[in-house]
Amino acid sequence: MSKIVSNIILALILILSQGLFFNNINFLGSINPFIYIFFIAYFPLKNNRSFFIFCAFIFGLIIDIFSDTHAIHAAATLTIAFLRPYFLKLYFGMAYEHQVVKFNSIELRQNLFYLLSIILIHHLILFGMETFDISKISLVIKNTFNTAIFTLIAIYILFELIIKRAK
Protein backbone atom coordinates (compact mmCIF):
# COMPACT_ATOMS: atom_id res chain seq x y z
CA MET A 1 0.00 0.00 0.00
CA SER A 2 2.70 2.49 0.99
CA LYS A 3 4.50 1.58 -2.22
CA ILE A 4 1.52 2.65 -4.34
CA VAL A 5 1.28 5.96 -2.49
CA SER A 6 5.01 6.63 -2.80
CA ASN A 7 4.87 5.90 -6.55
CA ILE A 8 1.97 8.30 -7.04
CA ILE A 9 3.87 10.98 -5.11
CA LEU A 10 6.97 10.32 -7.22
CA ALA A 11 4.87 10.68 -10.42
CA LEU A 12 3.42 13.99 -9.25
CA ILE A 13 6.84 15.35 -8.27
CA LEU A 14 8.29 14.31 -11.64
CA ILE A 15 5.41 15.92 -13.58
CA LEU A 16 5.66 19.19 -11.66
CA SER A 17 9.45 19.41 -11.84
CA GLN A 18 9.40 18.58 -15.57
CA GLY A 19 6.69 21.14 -16.35
CA LEU A 20 7.89 23.98 -14.15
CA PHE A 21 11.63 23.54 -14.10
CA PHE A 22 13.18 21.08 -16.56
CA ASN A 23 11.17 22.38 -19.55
CA ASN A 24 12.84 25.77 -19.05
CA ILE A 25 16.48 24.82 -18.77
CA ASN A 26 17.22 25.39 -22.48
CA PHE A 27 20.86 24.47 -22.16
CA LEU A 28 22.88 25.60 -25.24
CA GLY A 29 19.79 27.18 -26.73
CA SER A 30 17.20 24.45 -26.70
CA ILE A 31 18.25 21.30 -24.84
CA ASN A 32 15.85 20.22 -22.10
CA PRO A 33 16.36 16.89 -20.31
CA PHE A 34 13.17 14.83 -20.05
CA ILE A 35 13.61 13.49 -16.52
CA TYR A 36 10.09 12.11 -16.31
CA ILE A 37 11.28 8.99 -18.18
CA PHE A 38 12.68 7.97 -14.79
CA PHE A 39 9.14 6.98 -13.77
CA ILE A 40 8.77 4.58 -16.71
CA ALA A 41 12.29 3.18 -16.50
CA TYR A 42 12.13 2.30 -12.81
CA PHE A 43 8.42 1.52 -12.44
CA PRO A 44 8.05 -1.52 -10.10
CA LEU A 45 8.90 -4.73 -11.95
CA LYS A 46 5.95 -6.74 -10.66
CA ASN A 47 3.05 -5.07 -12.43
CA ASN A 48 0.01 -5.67 -14.55
CA ARG A 49 1.31 -4.92 -18.04
CA SER A 50 -1.93 -3.47 -19.46
CA PHE A 51 -2.26 -1.22 -16.42
CA PHE A 52 1.35 -0.05 -16.81
CA ILE A 53 0.85 0.79 -20.49
CA PHE A 54 -2.31 2.72 -19.74
CA CYS A 55 -0.59 4.57 -16.85
CA ALA A 56 2.26 5.59 -19.11
CA PHE A 57 -0.19 6.98 -21.69
CA ILE A 58 -2.00 9.15 -19.11
CA PHE A 59 1.33 10.21 -17.62
CA GLY A 60 2.55 11.34 -21.06
CA LEU A 61 -0.71 13.20 -21.77
CA ILE A 62 -0.30 15.27 -18.59
CA ILE A 63 3.25 16.18 -19.64
CA ASP A 64 1.81 17.13 -23.05
CA ILE A 65 -0.71 19.55 -21.59
CA PHE A 66 2.09 21.12 -19.56
CA SER A 67 4.35 21.59 -22.57
CA ASP A 68 1.66 22.68 -25.09
CA THR A 69 2.47 19.77 -27.38
CA HIS A 70 -0.02 17.48 -29.07
CA ALA A 71 0.17 13.96 -27.64
CA ILE A 72 3.81 13.51 -28.64
CA HIS A 73 4.99 12.83 -25.10
CA ALA A 74 2.04 10.44 -24.70
CA ALA A 75 3.02 8.43 -27.79
CA ALA A 76 6.72 8.29 -26.86
CA THR A 77 6.08 7.33 -23.23
CA LEU A 78 3.51 4.74 -24.30
CA THR A 79 5.97 3.11 -26.68
CA ILE A 80 8.80 2.77 -24.16
CA ALA A 81 6.34 1.38 -21.60
CA PHE A 82 5.28 -1.24 -24.13
CA LEU A 83 8.88 -2.08 -25.10
CA ARG A 84 10.28 -2.12 -21.54
CA PRO A 85 9.87 -5.87 -20.87
CA TYR A 86 11.80 -6.67 -24.07
CA PHE A 87 14.69 -4.43 -23.01
CA LEU A 88 14.69 -5.89 -19.52
CA LYS A 89 14.86 -9.37 -21.06
CA LEU A 90 17.64 -8.25 -23.39
CA TYR A 91 19.87 -6.71 -20.74
CA PHE A 92 19.08 -8.77 -17.64
CA GLY A 93 18.31 -12.10 -19.35
CA MET A 94 17.66 -15.05 -17.06
CA ALA A 95 17.64 -12.90 -13.93
CA TYR A 96 14.61 -11.00 -15.25
CA GLU A 97 12.77 -14.14 -16.30
CA HIS A 98 13.21 -15.66 -12.87
CA GLN A 99 12.08 -12.35 -11.36
CA VAL A 100 15.16 -11.79 -9.25
CA VAL A 101 16.18 -8.45 -10.79
CA LYS A 102 16.25 -5.63 -8.25
CA PHE A 103 16.84 -2.09 -9.50
CA ASN A 104 18.89 -1.12 -6.45
CA SER A 105 21.47 -3.83 -7.05
CA ILE A 106 21.97 -3.88 -10.83
CA GLU A 107 25.35 -3.37 -12.44
CA LEU A 108 26.33 0.08 -13.67
CA ARG A 109 27.03 -1.05 -17.24
CA GLN A 110 23.74 -2.93 -17.68
CA ASN A 111 21.86 -0.04 -16.14
CA LEU A 112 23.40 2.55 -18.46
CA PHE A 113 22.75 0.49 -21.61
CA TYR A 114 19.17 -0.15 -20.51
CA LEU A 115 18.58 3.54 -19.83
CA LEU A 116 20.28 4.70 -23.02
CA SER A 117 18.22 2.43 -25.26
CA ILE A 118 14.86 3.47 -23.85
CA ILE A 119 15.88 7.15 -23.83
CA LEU A 120 16.97 6.99 -27.48
CA ILE A 121 13.70 5.34 -28.57
CA HIS A 122 11.66 7.81 -26.54
CA HIS A 123 13.46 10.85 -27.98
CA LEU A 124 13.38 9.54 -31.54
CA ILE A 125 9.58 9.15 -31.41
CA LEU A 126 9.18 12.44 -29.56
CA PHE A 127 11.17 14.56 -32.00
CA GLY A 128 9.99 12.59 -35.01
CA MET A 129 6.32 13.20 -34.22
CA GLU A 130 7.01 16.76 -33.20
CA THR A 131 8.69 17.69 -36.47
CA PHE A 132 6.48 15.33 -38.55
CA ASP A 133 8.46 15.95 -41.71
CA ILE A 134 10.60 13.25 -43.32
CA SER A 135 12.80 15.84 -45.05
CA LYS A 136 14.00 17.12 -41.65
CA ILE A 137 15.23 13.71 -40.47
CA SER A 138 18.74 15.05 -39.82
CA LEU A 139 17.34 17.67 -37.46
CA VAL A 140 15.39 14.95 -35.62
CA ILE A 141 18.47 12.77 -35.20
CA LYS A 142 20.61 15.70 -34.07
CA ASN A 143 18.02 16.72 -31.47
CA THR A 144 17.64 13.12 -30.32
CA PHE A 145 21.32 12.59 -29.59
CA ASN A 146 21.93 16.01 -28.03
CA THR A 147 18.99 15.72 -25.68
CA ALA A 148 19.57 12.02 -24.92
CA ILE A 149 23.00 12.74 -23.40
CA PHE A 150 21.55 15.22 -20.92
CA THR A 151 18.52 13.10 -20.13
CA LEU A 152 20.80 10.13 -19.42
CA ILE A 153 22.98 12.14 -17.04
CA ALA A 154 19.97 13.65 -15.25
CA ILE A 155 18.18 10.30 -14.84
CA TYR A 156 21.33 8.56 -13.63
CA ILE A 157 21.78 11.22 -10.94
CA LEU A 158 18.15 10.70 -9.91
CA PHE A 159 18.76 6.93 -9.84
CA GLU A 160 21.69 7.38 -7.47
CA LEU A 161 19.70 9.76 -5.28
CA ILE A 162 16.40 7.90 -5.08
CA ILE A 163 16.91 4.19 -5.74
CA LYS A 164 20.44 3.59 -4.47
CA ARG A 165 19.64 5.51 -1.29
CA ALA A 166 16.45 3.54 -0.61
CA LYS A 167 18.55 0.38 -0.49
Site of interaction with other proteins (CB under 8 A) = 16, 19-20, 23-24, 26, 29-32, 49-50, 53-54, 57, 60, 64-72, 74-75, 78-79, 82, 129-132, 136, 139
In the bound state with other proteins, the residue whose beta carbon lies nearer, of 2 and 26, is 26
Task: Report d(CA 92, CA 87) in Å as an integer.
Answer: 8
In the complex, minimum distance from the CB of residue 130 to other proteins, in angstroms, rounded to a whole number = 6
Task: Report d(CA 87, CA 89) in Å as an integer.
Answer: 5
The neighbour count for residue 151, using CB atoms within 10 Å, is 25
In the bound state with other proteins, the residue whose beta carbon lies nearer, of 54 and 145, is 54
Helix%, strand%, coil% for the chain, nearest 5? 80, 0, 20
In the complex, minimum distance from the CB of residue 53 to other proteins, in angstroms, rounded to a whole number = 6
